[in-house]
């Protein structure tokens, strides 16, 4: 079996679709880091176009798609035309296309558990599957958990990568055998995500924000779990107390075209709508490193589902002080480097003010944390697990994260 590593190991990743989100960004980073040399990667997306977070998201317009194809990673889609980004109701032609793609692979990576509905279809060639898990609420994933448990029972699923300890604990409690669950912490490109005074000045100038004004960035898709109404109520409290502060909202659905977001803003700012003039809706950005560099604080107000939020890591690496609600591994990620708050607008606003005022003090602590959040260690761990799954080596020998 040892000589198997000398030949090319072919790995196929299955995505629901190319829609904006931290899990797709991180998984695409892993694929890019491993493609070439020993491993050759390809991607099959169930949907080519999706309508999510009040935003049409075409595969070809997605930054992850462009990065993958630009690096020579083959990417294809089963379905064209607008879809909801869900994995269900497969046609015979779609199953046949998946079978052809699987036959050309040695190992399959499933981005989250949703693609297991496709990989469990009868007639597909047997290939060991690694499921990459990025949430901490398996019971809220509809039929996806059942599909994953069925894949485990059938012997297809050989391992599950958990991006956080909260993920491992939640899926073990939901019935996934503990020996299949392996934690590989999230990491980011430290060359890209770093303090950048030039980018900070440019972004602020383009947005009309003075150099010394406190800036909070909220990077998330418009989804219930992100608790956007709480974020906006916190913004109202914060902007009332600091007339020079600004809040930046980035992500799918964070645009004036989203009627639900407009309604949330109206509800939050009520009889003081002029405060909302200092809330910038920036939508999906391909230059988040520059946006984070322009900010003093990176905030998360989620009430469920999070595991190891990429926005907190990326923001911290750009020297933005993190402020988060206690969900998933968020508190552990920011421990000693930021602030954890109750889900209360006044508490969050006070934490933003304290974080902005503590930026200079906390900057050295954020700098010393950089190695912990390096993607180099993450990619190496993914590569080792994939090779062990392919070779049949015991996964219990994998080193635990530092």
Residue limits of CATH 3.40.50.2000 in the chain: 2-187+374-397, 197-373
| pTM exceeding the 0.75 threshold for the entire prediction | yes
Q: Which residues contact 61 (CB under 8 A, 6 or more apart)?
A: none
What CATH architecture does domain 2-187+374-397 belong to?
3-Layer(aba) Sandwich (3.40)
Nearest in space to 387 (alpha carbons), one of 88, 158, 110: 158
Alpha-carbon distances, residue 364 vs 6, 9, 178, 320, 369 (angstroms): 43, 41, 37, 12, 9
CB 240 within 8 A of CB 352: no
Residue in this structure with the two tokens 């899990």, named with its chain if needed: 23
pLDDT (0 to 100) of residue 239: 98
pLDDT (0 to 100) of residue 164: 97
Rounded to 10 degrees, the C-alpha dihedral 323/327/332/338 comes to 10
Q: Which residues contact 266 (CB under 8 A, 6 or more apart)?
A: 273
Nearest in space to 300 (alpha carbons), one of 358, 353, 355, 227: 227
Per-residue pLDDT of the chain (402 residues; tens, 9 = 90+): 344 444 799 999 999 998 888 999 999 999 999 999 899 999 999 998 887 777 778 899 899 999 999 999 999 999 877 654 455 689 999 999 999 999 999 999 999 999 999 999 998 999 999 999 999 999 998 899 999 999 999 999 999 999 999 999 999 999 999 999 999 999 999 999 999 999 999 999 999 999 999 999 999 999 999 999 999 999 999 999 999 999 999 999 999 999 999 999 999 999 899 999 999 999 999 999 999 999 999 999 999 999 999 999 999 999 999 999 999 999 999 999 999 999 999 999 999 999 999 999 999 999 999 999 999 999 999 999 999 999 987 665 444 444
pLDDT (0 to 100) of residue 55: 74
CATH number 3.40.50.300 given to 197-373: no
pLDDT (0 to 100) of residue 20: 80
Q: Which residues contact 45 (CB under 8 A, 6 or more apart)?
A: 14, 15, 16, 17, 18, 59, 75, 76, 77, 78
């Amino acid at each position: 079996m040892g000589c198997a590593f000398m030949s090319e190991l072919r790995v196929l990743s299955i995505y629901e679709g190319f829609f904006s989100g931290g899990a797709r960004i991180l998984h695409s980073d892993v694929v890019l880091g491993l493609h070439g040399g020993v491993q050759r990667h390809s991607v099959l997306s169930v949907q080519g176009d999706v309508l999510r977070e009040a935003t049409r998201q075409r595969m070809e317009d997605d930054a992850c798609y462009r990065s993958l194809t630009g690096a020579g990673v083959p990417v294809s889609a089963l379905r064209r035309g607008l879809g909801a980004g869900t994995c269900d109701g497969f046609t015979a032609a779609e199953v046949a296309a998946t079978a052809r793609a699987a036959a050309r692979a040695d190992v399959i990576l499933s981005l989250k558990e949703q693609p297991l509905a496709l990989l469990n279809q009868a007639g597909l060639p047997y290939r060991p599957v690694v499921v990459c898990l990025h949430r901490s609420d398996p019971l809220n994933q509809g039929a996806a958990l059942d599909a994953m448990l069925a894949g485990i029972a059938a012997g297809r699923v050989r391992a599950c990568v958990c991006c956080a300890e909260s993920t491992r604990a939640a899926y073990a409690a939901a019935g996934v055998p503990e020996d299949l669950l392996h934690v590989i912490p999230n990491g980011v490109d430290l060359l890209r995500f770093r303090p950048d005074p030039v980018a900070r000045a440019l972004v602020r100038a383009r947005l009309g924000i003075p150099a010394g004004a406190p800036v909070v960035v909220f990077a998330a898709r418009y989804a219930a779990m992100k608790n956007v109404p709480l974020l906006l109520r916190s913004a109202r409290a914060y902007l009332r107390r600091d007339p020079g502060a600004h809040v930046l909202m980035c992500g799918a659905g964070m645009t004036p075209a989203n009627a639900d977001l407009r309604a949330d803003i109206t509800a939050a700012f009520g009889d003081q709508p002029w405060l909302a003039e200092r809330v910038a809706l920036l939508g999906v950005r391909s230059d988040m490193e520059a946006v984070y560099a322009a900010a003093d604080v990176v905030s998360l107000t989620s009430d469920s589902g999070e595991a190891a939020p990429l926005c907190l890591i990326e923001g911290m690496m750009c020297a933005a002080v993190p402020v988060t609600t206690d969900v998933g591994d968020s508190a552990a990620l920011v421990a000693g480097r930021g602030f954890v708050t109750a889900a209360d607008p006044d508490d969050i606003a006070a934490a933003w003010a304290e974080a902005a005022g503590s930026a200079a003090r906390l900057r050295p602590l954020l700098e010393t944390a950089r190695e912990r959040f390096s993607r180099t260690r993450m990619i190496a761990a993914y590569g080792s697990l994939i090779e062990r799954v392919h070779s049949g080596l015991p996964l219990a020998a994998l080193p635990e994260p530092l």
